[in-house]
Chain A
Amino acid sequence: MDLTLHVWRQAGPDAEGSFETYKATGVTGDMSFLEMLDVVNEQLIEEGREPITFDHDCREGICGSCGFMIDGQAHGPQRGTATCQLHMRQYRDGDEIWIEPFRAAGFPIVKDLAVNRGAFDEIIRAGGYVSQATGSAPDANLIPIPKPDVDLAMDAASCIACGACVAACPNGAAQLFTSAKLAHLNLLPQGQPERYTRAERMVETMEDYFGSCTNMGECE
């Protein structure tokens, strides 16, 4: 199938950006969205134009590197998966697609579709851990943990720090990312001792970078 792409191009953090239009030809349904961009990039290079910059790595939906707005939705139309997991069979021949970077003051644009999500590291750094010295741990089975609790903790811990929640949120809030880590650690006995300081420190840092949640539910 052939598609028309409108892609946000921006030379650098402070440069002016704008949409450029490209044709993606010979796209097959088995291609992932990023593979489709690869093909476009190869064409661009052959035409002597700089390829589109976008972050990506695992292409398995787990590393959280990839991600941009596709037709006004973070990671595109497919719910609950990263951009690299979006496959072209979702699209029809002749479709027009608008591609734009995540936008938030806490996520300054690096180039084209790539943004700096370093603020997430700051939030974790503020308290997203259990203070546990290496080598001094008790036996792993000493404290049994009810399966339902662990399953809930695991759900929360699956966050891949892609930033889509911030990107989608009309307030640019990082509520979901932060509460996911808080939930993960606070649900487990190992996380109990520090739960209050952890929450205070992480929320404080979050508010340094991001907006405030008004429970719009767009991030979920």
Chain B
Amino acid sequence: MLLDSKIPSGPIEERWDNHRFSMKLVNPNNKRKFEIIIIGTGLAGASAAATLGELGYNVKVFTFHDSPRRAHSIAAQGGINAAKNYRGDGDSVHRLFYDTVKGGDYRSREANVYRLAQESVNIIDQCVAQGVPFAREYGGLLDNRSFGGAQVSRTFYARGQTGQQLLLGAYQQMMRQVEAGSVKLYRRTEMLEVVIVDGRAVGVVVRDLITGEISRHSAHAVVLATGGYSNAFYLSTNAKASNATAIWRAHRKGALFGNPCFTQIHPTCIPPSDEHQSKLTLMSESLRNDGRIWVPKEPGDSRSPDQIPEEERDYFLERKYPAFGNLVPRDVASRNAKTMVDQNKGVGPRENGVYLDFAAAIGRLGESTIRERYGNLFDMYERITGEDPYRVPMRIYPAPHYTMGGLWVDYNLMTTIPGLYAIGEANFSDHGANRLGASALMQGLADGYFVLPYTIGDYLAPLLGTQPVPIDHPEFAAAETQVTDQVKHLLGVGGTRTVDWYHRELGRILWDYCGMARNRTGLEKALSEIPALREEFHSNVRVLGENETYNQSLEKAGRVSDFFELAELMCHDALHREESCGGHFREEHQTEDGEALRDDEDYAYVAAWEFQGVGNRPRLHREDLEFEYVKLSQRSYK
């Protein structure tokens, strides 16, 4: 299969404009003749639904949540980037573009990133007009904070609840279209198969989570906005229900999967307290603006932090990276924390964390300012750990957080299956090998509000006059059978172990061998353990209850079985990529001072994998990346 990224030619500043002009349009009163299915109501899905509905398309939106507003985007804390340069500190579209490509360790598409930087500006305008209460200064103008990987202050935020406010904005716009009748909303309904006819995506099969009823829906195009797959690790900062089912079922039907091993480990999370830990809580990266990260110089030093004098503390980030200090990108910060803990300098009861200390900031700015900035985060930390971060330094440790990998899409956000689109975290995205803080919200909203609504028209226009494939088409029947068979199978196994048990085990393997640092032997080990565990899962899992009621174990079982297959793919990808870049750190490939060592000669490409059947080695396709506007260099934050 040949991968055509459809990147427009010409100077990068003009590509998006020219492309928009050259694309086919659907005239306004023809739009209502098109049916579009959107899976997911997070930032990407909700903003796309709102905009497409507003344009006049007939949209059907599905979410497994009980309300669209519960989508995982709601949890985003820190903020959203935009090249507004309201600070006048030298920011610009080009700088945001440059920072993002560099932050992504040169594994993303220049054209996409540039478009993202251009649209970032419109996002802020759009959201403010919707009534998103971004933080402001006393003058009444919008406030900004700085975020990891950037030397300018370009992050817009709404307290520690930026994602919530942005999602509510998009959700409200979508509900407005529901009221207008252009968007039809399906809640507590999970998409379990995408239907392909003559190589085109023509609909989906969904399961009503309350009644177990399985139904078919057809459309002219299908959009997946179903988020990331960090939960493959079991313990992650993602919401418990976040999963890869939608994109994985699409992958099984032929959509290529891009850079699956590019996963991001977030440096500032609360370390796990015991084996019953069900998820890890993120402490927004913005904390690194004012908090100083340190560990005791002496390994095994078990004194309480206040007992450790200044000169016996190691502020390792400030020491190793004077220029960026505590604001180095996430992958760098995470890896260094790991090194410290591995050197047995970890702090806390389980010696599994490093300190994030606000004493200096409180001394400098006063407690009230800190409370003003991070109040709700500090409260959350205290509720969870029982420690007061205004007095005792926070304990943090890295945790799986974001997945740069996802379904491969071209410049139009279309997957390798015509008519099937992937937006938001679900696609392999513009973040390359590592995402900078506050860029996912930006990407999700850019995709949903400003990119997809244009590019989808280019695909639909030629279909004018055609009806959606009728749902009694044999392919629909086949897809439905697949779903019913899987449900029967999972309920039928009648084994001895719970779904969560298997998920935890899988997570442990992935975290140990395909987590923050990876190496050949480990990955090969994982590739032998995962299939074994998967087999056992399918012969020994216990799912009680029946299909016809709200059955949460059944939901989970389906998702975990997909995680098993995805985990294997992640390991294959990690194993094949003989270099270190961004979130992918191969111990075999590092500089003498332990920095990631890229291999641009052989690996400056997107690895897009083709499904070859469960347990079989997937087939690799390459999309080579050209860099005309930023010159590849060893990332340095010193």
Contact = CB atoms under 8 A, between A and B. Distances in A.
Contact of A59 (B54, B74, B141, B240): B240
B592 interface: no
A64 interface: yes
B412 interface: no
Given A59-B279, A134-B54, A157-B165, 17 more contacts: A12-B550, A32-B384, A35-B277, A38-B500, A42-B501, A46-B496, A50-B544, A57-B70, A58-B74, A59-B278, A87-B383, A118-B66, A118-B67, A141-B86, A141-B141, A147-B138, A150-B136
List the 4 closest A-B pairs by CB distance, nearest first: A144-B140, A129-B172, A137-B129, A30-B273
A58 B125 contact: no
Contacts, number: 212
13 contacts: A35-B276, A38-B276, A48-B544, A65-B70, A117-B67, A121-B175, A134-B47, A134-B173, A140-B84, A147-B136, A154-B135, A184-B133, A191-B131
Interface string A119-130: 011001110111
Interface string B478-497: 00000000000000000010
Given A11-B549, A87-B384, A139-B125, A145 B542 contact: no
A134 B50 contact: yes
Contacts of B127: 140
Given A144-B140, A161-B67, A137 B158 contact: no
A51 B552 contact: yes
Contact of A190 (B51, B128, B137, B239): B128
Contacts of B386: 29-30, 87, 89
B369 interface: no
A85 B75 CA distance: 14
B69 interface: yes
Report, as a range, how many residues of chain B touch the other chain: 35 or more
User: Chain A interface secondary structure, helix, strand, loop or mixed?
Assistant: loop
A118 B175 CA distance: 12
B289 interface: no
Contact of B70 (A64, A131, A153, A185): A64
A81 B550 CA distance: 26
B278 A38 contact: yes
B125 A140 contact: yes
Report, as a range, how many residues of chain A touch the other chain: 35 or more
B409 to A, nearest CB: 21
A149 to B, nearest CB: 9
Contact of A62 (B75, B136, B175, B278): B75
A150 B175 contact: no
Interface in B59-90: 65-70, 72, 74-75, 84, 86
A128 B175 contact: yes
Given A110-B210, A117-B67, A28 B125 contact: no
